[in-house]
Chain A
């Protein structure tokens, strides 16, 4: 019951941001699509202490509104195949889905430099299947968090711009599998997977769910007022239940973004 209440509060926060933005900000909504590639590492210590490494591909869609303040919604899907140093083939799979919304207030304004700070709500599903190590269970580290997003924007000549953002969570609820599970071959239908990914939900403090998202992108206009960007991002995530071992993830990605 407590978890449902927490979820409701987070959803209300999310919605209030959207409503607030409609009242105050009449800037044009710009949609974007981004594609990112990079290196992905995970360590699922509930299973074993070895690092699984592989490449990751992530596709994002979102929109942003920006005038005095800067709000953004983003939906991302990531796919990665991984292996440990003990394996020959990358049989492990990591799937990610992330929905985030942030509303950032401009706190510093100058001719060339702007700084924005505001709340961000983030819902992340992060599931792994590591059949060489455990062909009977799904592993995951899911969370719903509210945190702070910082955006630094540097304007350059010819409408070029350099945008760097940094976000961390402040409060979260999260889900991790139990450390010792029965020989419960996880339900493999959609309903069963959704049930697993949302089970064992717990309220968290900073030491339970901690992530750092750091991204920098170089934006430049292309044609018909459209913008393109090249980006580099760094993500570090650690999710640990008090009764279990941590899930850690680290990824570096290079990306290209089309802002319409």
Chain B
């Protein structure tokens, strides 16, 4: 019996010592950043041909592949002079063909679509009140009648929408989603205090939907995605059918880059103006000072005076950075549901890339 016991204890000890789950690497080994040629509208090139310092670009990719601050990175694409000069998909090479949630970068799409809607006279002007577009949803909240499109575009509606709690309710409510946003307390007079949240772009989305007669996602498909050759996308909507103007647009990284390039080209795509260049110019200029490190904010665009550029930003540290002076677009996508513990200091990455432009 003692012998059995001894063997049994030995087996248990072996189990304890050897049985542990093993960590695996997050990312594939770094194999360079040369883009592949595909029939998707992108011309490819090299850093040298586009006047860029290869070693600095390599440093940027090393950072994305090896630094824990970029643990959840899914893609980094660099476009200069309209050509794709670098791309890599650290988490999974298959991400090149996979749509993913670009989170709050969605707001910048809503901004450009607002410009298109204004150009088409679906909306009167940025000073138009939402009440003039959908008065029936103000019945319970008449004190919000004066909120304008411009205040929503600059995050100064005064509505106390808290993303940590109210975004989830907005997502889940089976009642009217616009009325839900309007029902939240108004903490400030509209037009005074910057308060970044997901509610304001939802009001804008509903305004376009009301005037267009179809959801914002269908408006986007017709006037933006199809002309850009974007066929694989998804844009989620609230239970009442209003497209979320603030989040949950799903795109492939190369298609996100097309949006950046469209902005860089002032709305011109293959000789056709898809977006209003005057609107792009206005939306990407500082209009208010944000409460986020004082970064200036346009119409759903973050302004980066140091680069003389602007960006769409989304959860996970996702960014489309446009630097007109350098003829440069940078797209960084990441897992979009991560806490801020796993993303920060995007500037170090962009500094390397911007500096690589001669």
Contacts and interface: CB of A to CB of B under 8 A. Distances in A.
Interface of A: 41-43, 48-51, 84-88, 91, 112, 131-137, 154, 164, 180, 182-185, 187-188, 214, 216, 232, 234, 236, 248-250, 252
A206 to B, nearest CB: 19
A239 B342 CA distance: 27
Given A50-B26, A132-B342, A236 B19 contact: yes
Interface stretch (B76-84, B263-271, B333-341): B333-341
A232 B23 contact: no
A137 B337 contact: yes
Given A133-B338, A250-B19, A86 B71 contact: yes
Contact of B172 (A43, A137, A185): A185
Contact of A182 (B1, B234, B335): B234
Nearest to B336: A183
A49 B234 contact: no
B21 interface: yes
Contacts of B247: 183
Contact of B248 (A42, A182, A250): A182
B171 interface: yes
Contacts of A51: 20-23
Interface in B181-198: none
A140 B247 CA distance: 25
Contact of B26 (A48, A91, A232): A48
Interface residues of B, number: 36
Contacts of B25: 49
21 contacts: A41-B20, A43-B21, A48-B72, A49-B26, A84-B23, A86-B68, A88-B341, A91-B339, A131-B339, A137-B337, A154-B1, A164-B8, A182-B234, A182-B236, A182-B248, A183-B248, A187-B172, A216-B8, A234-B19, A250-B19, A252-B16
B125 to A, nearest CB: 32
B23 A132 contact: no
B15 interface: yes
Contacts of A232: 12
Nearest to A88: B341
Nearest to A85: B23
Nearest to A214: B15
Contacts of A184: 171
B169 to A, nearest CB: 10
A49 B22 CA distance: 9
In the A-B complex, list the 3 residue pairs whose CB atoms are closest, starting with the nearest.
A49-B24, A134-B337, A132-B339
B249 to A, nearest CB: 10
A135 B68 contact: no
B121 interface: no
B140 interface: no
Contacts of A88: 341
Contacts of B15: 214, 234
A216 B12 contact: yes
Contacts of A250: 19-21
Contacts of B98: 180
B21 A42 contact: yes
Q: Which of A91, A133, A180 counts the most chain B CB atoms within 10 A?
A: A133
Given A43-B21, A51-B23, A234-B19, A185 B168 contact: yes
Contacts of A133: 72, 335, 337-339, 342
Contacts of A252: 16
Nearest to B15: A234
Nearest to B249: A183
A156 B21 CA distance: 36
A214 B14 CA distance: 14
Nearest to B24: A49
B277 interface: no
Interface in B308-358: 335-339, 341-342
B242 to A, nearest CB: 15
Given A250-B19, A252-B16, 7 more contacts: A50-B26, A51-B20, A86-B71, A133-B339, A134-B335, A183-B248, A185-B171
B45 interface: no
Interface in B216-233: none
A179 to B, nearest CB: 11
Nearest to B27: A49
A49 B21 contact: no
Q: Which of A50, A248, A250 counts the most chain B CB atoms within 10 A?
A: A50
B261 interface: no
Contacts of A41: 20-21
B285 interface: no
Contact of B338 (A132, A154, A164, A236): A132
B110 interface: no
